[in-house]
Amino acid sequence: KEESRKTRRLTFTFDDWKRHRSGSRYLYHLKTLAESGIVRGIAAPVAWVTAFTGVVAAFNSAHAARLLPPWLPPLPAIALEPMQLTSFALSLLLVFRTNASYSRWDEGRRSFGAITTTCRDLARQACSWFPSGPSPQQQQQHDSSSSPSSPSSSPSSSPSSSSPCSPRPHLARWLVALGRSCVVHLREEHRLEDELRDVLQPQELAAVVASAHPPNFCLQMITWIIRTAGLPQELVMRMDENVSRLTSSLAACERLLNTPLPLSYTRHTSRFLMGWLACLPLCLWSYCGPAMIPIAALVAFVLLGIEEIGVYIEEPFSILALEKLAGKMEAAIAAMLAERETIQRLVTGNSSSNGNAAAAAAAAPAAPANTNGTTATGDKPAAAAAPPLTLGSSPLHSLGATPG
Amino acid sequence: KEESRKTRRLTFTFDDWKRHRSGSRYLYHLKTLAESGIVRGIAAPVAWVTAFTGVVAAFNSAHAARLLPPWLPPLPAIALEPMQLTSFALSLLLVFRTNASYSRWDEGRRSFGAITTTCRDLARQACSWFPSGPSPQQQQQHDSSSSPSSPSSSPSSSPSSSSPCSPRPHLARWLVALGRSCVVHLREEHRLEDELRDVLQPQELAAVVASAHPPNFCLQMITWIIRTAGLPQELVMRMDENVSRLTSSLAACERLLNTPLPLSYTRHTSRFLMGWLACLPLCLWSYCGPAMIPIAALVAFVLLGIEEIGVYIEEPFSILALEKLAGKMEAAIAAMLAERETIQRLVTGNSSSNGNAAAAAAAAPAAPANTNGTTATGDKPAAAAAPPLTLGSSPLHSLGATPG
Amino acid sequence: KEESRKTRRLTFTFDDWKRHRSGSRYLYHLKTLAESGIVRGIAAPVAWVTAFTGVVAAFNSAHAARLLPPWLPPLPAIALEPMQLTSFALSLLLVFRTNASYSRWDEGRRSFGAITTTCRDLARQACSWFPSGPSPQQQQQHDSSSSPSSPSSSPSSSPSSSSPCSPRPHLARWLVALGRSCVVHLREEHRLEDELRDVLQPQELAAVVASAHPPNFCLQMITWIIRTAGLPQELVMRMDENVSRLTSSLAACERLLNTPLPLSYTRHTSRFLMGWLACLPLCLWSYCGPAMIPIAALVAFVLLGIEEIGVYIEEPFSILALEKLAGKMEAAIAAMLAERETIQRLVTGNSSSNGNAAAAAAAAPAAPANTNGTTATGDKPAAAAAPPLTLGSSPLHSLGATPG
Amino acid sequence: KEESRKTRRLTFTFDDWKRHRSGSRYLYHLKTLAESGIVRGIAAPVAWVTAFTGVVAAFNSAHAARLLPPWLPPLPAIALEPMQLTSFALSLLLVFRTNASYSRWDEGRRSFGAITTTCRDLARQACSWFPSGPSPQQQQQHDSSSSPSSPSSSPSSSPSSSSPCSPRPHLARWLVALGRSCVVHLREEHRLEDELRDVLQPQELAAVVASAHPPNFCLQMITWIIRTAGLPQELVMRMDENVSRLTSSLAACERLLNTPLPLSYTRHTSRFLMGWLACLPLCLWSYCGPAMIPIAALVAFVLLGIEEIGVYIEEPFSILALEKLAGKMEAAIAAMLAERETIQRLVTGNSSSNGNAAAAAAAAPAAPANTNGTTATGDKPAAAAAPPLTLGSSPLHSLGATPG
Amino acid sequence: KEESRKTRRLTFTFDDWKRHRSGSRYLYHLKTLAESGIVRGIAAPVAWVTAFTGVVAAFNSAHAARLLPPWLPPLPAIALEPMQLTSFALSLLLVFRTNASYSRWDEGRRSFGAITTTCRDLARQACSWFPSGPSPQQQQQHDSSSSPSSPSSSPSSSPSSSSPCSPRPHLARWLVALGRSCVVHLREEHRLEDELRDVLQPQELAAVVASAHPPNFCLQMITWIIRTAGLPQELVMRMDENVSRLTSSLAACERLLNTPLPLSYTRHTSRFLMGWLACLPLCLWSYCGPAMIPIAALVAFVLLGIEEIGVYIEEPFSILALEKLAGKMEAAIAAMLAERETIQRLVTGNSSSNGNAAAAAAAAPAAPANTNGTTATGDKPAAAAAPPLTLGSSPLHSLGATPG
């Protein structure tokens, strides 16, 4: 059952929507009945209810046929009326509880979406606002250190990746690291080292892994990079608003993970439902006879199914496609870094390469490296190369261009 | 069925509201029964349910008339009671699911509306804040390039459109491009090239089409244009707040498109409904006899209809009038550019043309070009001409002045 | 019916609330039954249902009395059970749809309220921040024009209203114009010229009337006035945040006006209800006999009434008291301009007129003009005169001091 | 009934919560039945329903006993079925309407809470940001006036209260005045003069009382005080954001007071309920006989009670403890002014009074005046004295230290 | 019962979620029936209802067996119909009331979560923005005081903790104090002195304890620290936005604590329920006979349980794990201070310790003190030592690294 949650992580495309809406969905839903995670989740309790109903039916039949010792009393028959009077409260409770779980699921989706969106927004701001070279503040410190520039760890990084501290790709790397460490933080499946190995440099990786709260560590790195990028204070403010939004979106995710629905709510609903289903065969026998066995099974299936859905989606992160969302964010950031040069040329007046600019622009996302030859400005290679972010062999890369 | 979704894209006017509220709407709703997309969508399952009910009725009648071989057992009769006990949960589940879909639809409408509104707001800010000539920063780069100004691609552009990089119309063009590329991004009907051909210049068009995520590309262009317009940093901040809002509204639209309601919710509702409807004839036979065939058809119609509506509006973008909304936004931006001169004259004190200012203002939106002669200030033609945005032959243009 | 909507536009006072809560409201509701817009709206369909029930009753009675030709079959009798099974879904659908309409109504009220509130907030900022004379930027342009100051069009303007471009009253006039043009934009009753004639100057009026989207035009004017008022950039930012809020509140109103609830939702509810009501007499005959005629009429009345309310409040602007709200906003702005001098004196230390300041302050809102004599500071008359906003003869003026 | 609303204004403490949760609450609820405002509110209509049921019962009994003239027809008996079919819609309508009223009540509580919270926030900002002496701008104007400083009106003000225009206590006084004038504005019980007499100086009081909209007047005063306090523009912006929030919270309160729920909604619910209750005895007679009299009374009690609650809480301000909330806000502001010196000493390094600082700090809120001797800095007495805010004899003062 | 609330304060981990979702939860819920706080809370009223039902059953049995004096009338039998007609309204009222309580619980969790999140965000900003030494403003005042630096009270503070007023750890201490004083403020269990003793210095502690409203006092301290830290005004604005958010989150918590749901709502629901349950045995006797005793007990259990949940979660703070949340916040702030040096080294280019930086970074959170030897920069020890926040012996410390 826990394994089945992993297969639920999907994102919809236009074709999925068409299938979702098509008239043949009813057939499809019946065909996939056996594979449903919900159905497998409630198989056991439905079987219990059915077995209990069978026992009641057998006992009652045997009693009616006088096969039982005469001193055994018949099973009590519950009148329909109290069942009716409470069926309403039961249904309301079930559906409201499921609705509260749905709100949690929706908020989880929204909050993680806000993380990726805000990362994209920070990357957008950095692409247009950050100066191209290292900031003066960094320059100073960098000069005084006079160390050889540490080689980038990513195998796809071109050797011309001059300064590891050029703030734009630096920020982009840490935004990607933030996304992945959030995924690791909200799931228990991945190892942080494996996820971040191709994004961060070894010493950065060691620091993140050793930190008390990896996403917080990334947020602090991002704050520092923004602060030392040499921007005017107003733009630092704007970017810091986005960092604050990241903090609170992450906190919303943690809140959902920390705090279930009030347990008394969940448990009372569950006990109410089990008690009601246990009374059902005693009530139905006089109305349906042995036919009550499939009927009780069906009733148990639909009502337990509603309750199971409520529990199933209460913790949203293990059924959301977090990896795909983070992957899309990475692809978007990589595209921004790659397209930056094209945009700059379009804005500043199509200076020297008017003829082949369109072609170059068209080629830019596909092969950002080969534009280095045509442009002679000094600071562009750093941007276009964007070393650790090309994510060449990552399986997430192919998601970047899908629209939905 | 998928085709019918295209006809749903409408916006209401005052007259539509009057018809919507009029007492004759009940008749109208009955008359349009056959054309309803919902009715056509559920025609097949309603037919199945009716056919199944017919078979049950025929079998039971034949059995009662002893036309069937005697070893065939009669169909089991389901008591009404379990149907009643579950009808409540079924109705609640159906209506809550439809309500959750409605929330998605509403959020889709809101989010796309926020995109167009924020574009209008950015255009408003640009009209009043952007300096009229090219910004100094651009001027510099422009001078160093010393290229002939690339001719604007739009056929309606007047030859006096001096600098292609004058930031105000430049931003306006990209806002329009953003709106259209969002429409293309959220639907799968249009081709991006066709939509943007009359807005962007060829090289810009090529760059957008080649980009990984066209709306993101437009957002980056807008960020660059704002940054290089030579505004004070405080106003850059204000405009960037709007760009961040665009980013998050777009992300909200993508979220709706990516993530359906939890599939287990949808499927359990559908299975519950089909199972319930399948039991219905077995239950109704003893109460209604053969009259149950139309009754079961009616019950199936209303309940399947509720479920179908829930599925129908779950993905909102293919039934919303996105093109009309984007068209209104374009008309509003075009009007802002055209009325800018009038406003400037009204604010700065009706300098030299006190007598005919009102007449000129009245004529401004209709024929912005002919005011060029009366004003001698150097920077105004660029604004009044607003080359690629007059959208002369666009079918969207006529929507601009409708109020609602 | 459309006319009756106009009488619904009311605002509540303390006494209205007391009557609203009083124990005699039940009687009052019965007495006003015949005047209710809802009742008149559903009179026709209720009559149809009653007539149809009467026909069914007559046919069945005649059939029972064997007055009809014997080859006529009796009308089919529908069992109560399917009615019961669906009454629940019907009620839920009706009430949820009405609730969705109520949300729209509430949002309409909120959005229009946000427009007036934000206008008041802008006026508050302008009253305290704007310099008293024309801003330097304007001064320059004004001097170079050297035109005679255009005479203010309002008949109530005192001749000492020096510069038409003094930014404070200028902004106030356009805020009032914005409120009124929003009312005109969201209703189809008023003519823009008539509404704005006593607020704007002729050339301004001509420009607004000729513009493509009058509220947008006002928003642009406001943006320009703020920009050219000579404020520090930080305060321009603050005021522009309010202008952005105006833009989005206006867009929310337009969205409500543009987009009804999904039509399939409305229509399915209506069809479900009409079908259910048509089956009702066939079902009730065996339970109630001819007494079913008033019963069916009552049931139709209550259920159709719920549906009618949903449709009635779906488009909120024609039943909201927009004019009164805009009028209150105007009165508040006029009061702010009039009380400005008093406030300035209170803040800056009660300089020379310590004795009679309280008396003057008390008299200020009643007769702002006669304080001109006692103060000798040069810039105050412009503020205290506030020419076109005194709204002396406007019927809206008397609303300003009512508390709720 | 209107009087009983005044007793509803309470705030909960920890002990109240314990009693609220205790198992003996059911008994308590029964015991207080007679004192309940709701019960008294619905006593009359419940009595009518009971009387009508009694008449029906008497008539039917008499008819059955043939005591009536034989030409009198028996009362018609309504079948249970139509009652059942509509009871569901009735319950939904009642509960949804009550829920909509609850949303209004909740929003009223939130909005008024936002007013007090924002006032506290403004006081917090003023305490730490405002310079201690009069701002240069004021100083200038103050010098030129050369008037004797007007004596503060509050009897508890120490004579050392130097300048009436020192911005910090000035702002604090007007924040208190804003809170009280909002209470007066949202209720009709108090007189503004009585409330503000011990807060404002006579001329200020006269100006507020004479103004068209007292809370607006206070907001303008606050805006002016902030503007003239000599802060950097960025901090003026921050404080003005809070003033804008005050404006919109106040507008939200006014909106609730102005606009009831759509009257057609309220009236249709009321009519539906009265009609349903009127049919009830005709239906119950055949099931219950004369026992229907108490039964109908009970049913009327519970259903009318739900409707009454909806009406009762629809206008929230006359049942909310606005005075207590405003009083807490005043106590918090007074404490902030009193504790300011302690905080300043803690932040700036515990300069000369290391030993007795803790003792002094402990004594500060109780007796702020006696710390004047130990500190020799010139600007502190003005802050510590905080003349008109000590609120010595105010009954609200004792609420300041209670936690909840 | 009040004691049982303390055991409800839990946060979920991944394993808890797995158990929460597992198929064996139904058994677990039955096993824990006797320990449930809800069950114990409703034990008494359920017992009453059962006893009353038993009395009714005994009386009716005795009456039927003619054991009672013949002049005693039989107990009246209530028909099922009025019970049915009202069971719907009762269920709706119960579930909506419980839902309203759930909204309060959710808001309480959100608001307290917002407090801790905003504190973390302030610490993040301080770590990257605050200068390392004391600010110039403080320096001045500090020099003039020339007092010996007051020894830090925390036993774990290293003696090298130079200045008690270095703004970064100063702010961190007060953020922690704010969190703890909020916990004390929203509960009545803890003593403020005990909670804050290991965080604040003695004189600070005395001042907080003596203040009228401790959380407000902390907020003011934080405002002062930010103001005097020597930041540019734009960053002061950003941090003050967070302080305003703290103010309003705290006010939201206080609002929930102050204001229960409208008491008339709670009481009417309770009275309705008790009346309905009292009528139940009179109604069930004719349907169920003596079997009605367990049935009535079950019905009372489920309905009273729903009401009890609504009351149980109405005041959220005594069942939320506030201490754990505050503890996590403290651990996060401590980690930020500890990791600050690592981050600074990573950002500014890995200057002199390229080889062992990764190792040092890995060791940093575990033993921040031993990095002092390797770095020679003057301002770092103050940050790395972070004296009063290491919280060495605090039981809260071990929570820092848990993910959820």
SS3 B153: coil
Of B341-345, C371-375, E228-232, the least confident: C371-375
Q: Which of A42, A49, A92, A118 should one mutate to test binding to chain E, selecting the residue with the greatest count of E CBs within 10 A?
A: A92
Q: Which amino acid is at D31?
A: K
Q: Residues C112-168: pLDDT tens digits?
A: 999 999 999 999 999 988 887 554 444 444 444 333 333 333 333 333 333 445 788
Please report the residues numbered 298 through 317 in chain C whose beta carbons come closer than 8 angstroms to any beta carbon of chain D: 298-299, 302-303, 305-306, 309, 312-313
Please tell me which residue of chain C has the smallest CA distance to D308: C21
Nearest to E288 among A79, A88, A234 (CB): A79
Split chain E (404 residues) into runs of 10 and give each run's mean pLDDT: 68 86 84 81 90 92 83 79 86 92 94 95 91 54 39 37 64 93 88 88 90 92 90 90 95 93 90 91 84 90 92 90 91 90 78 39 38 36 38 37 36
Model confidence pLDDT, tens digit, residues D242-293: 999 999 999 999 999 989 999 889 999 999 999 999 988 888 888 888 888 9
C214 CB-near residues (< 8 Å, 6+ apart):
C181, C184, C185, C192, C208
Contact partners for chain D, using 3 or more CB pairs closer than 8 A, are C, E
E376 close contact with A: CB closer than 8 A: no
Q: How far apart are the first and last CA of chain A?
A: 29
pLDDT in tens, A109-128: 999 999 999 999 999 999 88
Q: How many CA atoms lie within 13 A of C199 on its CB side?
A: 25
Specify whether the CB–CB gap between B371 and C220 falls below 8 A.
no
Find the CB nearest E361 among A84, A203, A268: A203
Q: Is B7 on the interface with C (CB under 8 A)?
A: no
Element (H, E) at D334: helix D322-347
**Alpha carbon of E74 to those of B70, B150, E62, E65, E277: distances in Å?**
53, 102, 10, 12, 20
- What's the rounded mean pLDDT across residues A237-249? 94
What's the farthest any 2 CA atoms get from each other in chain C? 106
The partner residue sitting opposite E347, judged by closest CB among A78, A225, A258, is A225
Question: DSSP class of residue B55?
Answer: H
State which residue of chain D sits closest to E89, comparing Cα positions.
D91
pLDDT at D349: 63
pLDDT tens-place string over residues C251-267 = 999 999 989 999 889 99
CA atoms of C6 and C29, how far apart (whole Å): 20
3-class secondary structure, C108: helix
Q: Which pLDDT score is estimated for A73?
A: 80
For residue D214, what pLDDT is reported? Answer: 92
Tell me what the mean pLDDT of segment D294-311 comes to. 91
Where do the H-state alpha helices sit in A7-36? 14-21, 25-31
pLDDT confidence of residue E377: 36
- Which residue of chain B is at minimal alpha-carbon distance from C149? B349
Check whether C292 has a pLDDT greater than 90: no
Write out the two tokens for A291. 């036919």
Substitution target from C111, C115, C197, C240 for chain B, most B beta carbons within 10 A: C240
Domain boundaries, chain D: 110-135+160-258+320-348+356-394
pLDDT grade for C19, boundaries at 50, 70 and 90: confident
pLDDT recorded at residue C329: 93
The pLDDT value given to residue B123: 94
CA distance E295 to chain D (A): 21
DSSP element (H, E) containing D282: helix D263-288
Closest CA to D174 of D229, D137, D237, D136: D229
Per-residue pLDDT band for A251 (boundaries 50, 70, 90) equals very high
The structure tokens listed for E222 are 């934080």
Residues of chain C with Cβ-Cβ distance to D275 below 8 Å are 298, 302
Residue type, D109: R
Angle in degrees, CA A220, A223, A224, rounded to 5 = 90
Q: In terms of CA atoms, which chain C residue is nearest residue D174?
A: C347
* Contact (CB, 8 A) for C293 and C57: yes
If you average pLDDT over every residue of chain D, what do you get?
Answer: 78
Identify the chains in contact with E, defined as 3+ C-beta pairs within 8 A. Answer: A, D
pLDDT of residue C55: 92
Interface size, chain B vs chain C, as Cβ–Cβ contacts under 8 Å: 275
ipTM of the complex: 0.84
Alpha-carbon distance of C202 to C224, in angstroms, equals 19
At A8 the pLDDT is 65
In this structure, the dihedral spanned by the alpha carbons of residues A45, A51, A54 and A60, taken in order and rounded to 10 degrees, is: -100
Question: How is residue A183 written in tokens?
Answer: 């995924």
User: In D, which residues are within 8 Å of E272 by CB distance?
Assistant: 302, 305
Q: Which of residues 208-227 of E touch D (CB under 8 A)?
A: 209-213, 216-217, 219-221, 223-225, 227
Q: What is the pLDDT of residue B36?
A: 79
CA distance E36 to E30: 10
Tokens of D302: 């519970």
- Residue among A130, A138, A244, A256 with most chain E CBs within 10 A, to mutate: A244
- Give me the percent of chain B exceeding a pLDDT of 90: 35
Model confidence at A200: pLDDT above 70: yes
Task: Note whether E34 contacts D: Cβ–Cβ < 8 A.
Answer: no
Q: Is any Cβ of chain A less than 8 angstroms from the Cβ of B35?
A: no
Question: Which CA distances in Å does C223 have to A2, B172, C136, C240?
Answer: 57, 17, 17, 7
- Among residues C95, A106, B88, C320, the alpha carbon closest in space to that of D99 is found at C95
The answer to which of B249-253, B383-387, C229-233 has the lowest mean pLDDT is: B383-387
With pLDDT > 70 as the criterion, what percentage of chain B qualifies?
Answer: 76
Closest to B181 measured CA to CA, from B221, B213, B226: B213
The verdict on a CB contact (< 8 Å) between C313 and D86 is no
Q: Calculate the alpha carbon distances from D344 to D86, D336, E136, E163, E225 in Å.
A: 68, 12, 16, 17, 9
Q: Tally the C-alpha atoms within 13 A of residue C3's C-alpha that lie toward its C-beta.
A: 2
Point out the residue among E1, E203, E271 whose CB comes nearest to the CB of D30: E271
pLDDT one-digit tens code per residue, A68-118: 887 878 777 777 888 888 888 999 999 999 999 999 999 999 999 999 999
Give the Å distances, CA to CA, from D270 to C33, D90, D93. 11, 10, 10
Residues 6 or more apart in contact with residue D300 via CB below 8 angstroms: D45, D46, D49, D50, D277, D280
Put residue E394 in one of left, alpha, beta given phi > 0 → left and psi -120 to 50 → alpha: beta
Contact B177, B119 (CB under 8 A): no
pLDDT at C287 over 90: no
Distance CA A106, CA A98 (A): 12
At E369, give phi and psi (nearest 5°).
-75, -35
- Given a contact cutoff of 8 angstroms between Cβ atoms, the answer to whether D337 and D386 are in contact is yes
What three-state secondary structure class fits A369?
Answer: helix
User: Can you give chain E as a three-state secondary structure string?
Assistant: CCHHHHHHCCCCCHHHHHHHHCCCHHHHHHHHHHHCHHHHHHHHHHHHHHHHHHHHHHHHHHHHCCCCCCCCCCCCCCCHHHHHHHHHHHHHHHHHHHHHHHHHHHHHHHHHHHHHHHHHHHHHHHHHHCCCCCCHHHHHHHHHHCCCCCCCCCCCCCCCCCCCCCHHHHHHHHHHHHHHHHHHHHCCCCCHHHHHCCCCCHHHHHHHHHCCCHHHHHHHHHHHHHHCCCCCHHHHHHHHHHHHHHHHHHHHHHHHHHCCCCHHHHHHHHHHHHHHHHHHHHHHHHHHHHHHHHHHHHHHHHHHHHHHHHHHCCCHHHCCCHHHHHHHHHHHHHHHHHHHHHHHHHHCCCCCCCCCHHHHHHHCCCCHHHHCCCCCCCCHHHHHHCHHHCCCCCCCHHHCCCCC
Q: Is A123 helix (H, G, I), strand (E, B) or coil?
A: helix
- Nearest CA to E254 out of A251, D109, D180 is that of D109
CA distance B144 to B139: 9
CB contact under 8 A, A225 and E361: no
Sequence-separated (6 or more) residues with CB below 8 Å from residue B356: B374
Q: Do E1 and D12 touch (CB under 8 A)?
A: no
Residues D323 and D190: beta-carbon distance below 8 Å: no
Angle between helices E167-186 and E202-210 (to 10 degrees): 40
- Burial of D76-103, coded b for 16+ CB within 10 Å and e otherwise, reads eebbbbbbbbbbbbbbbbbbbbbbbbbe
Count CB neighbours of A55 within 10 A.
12
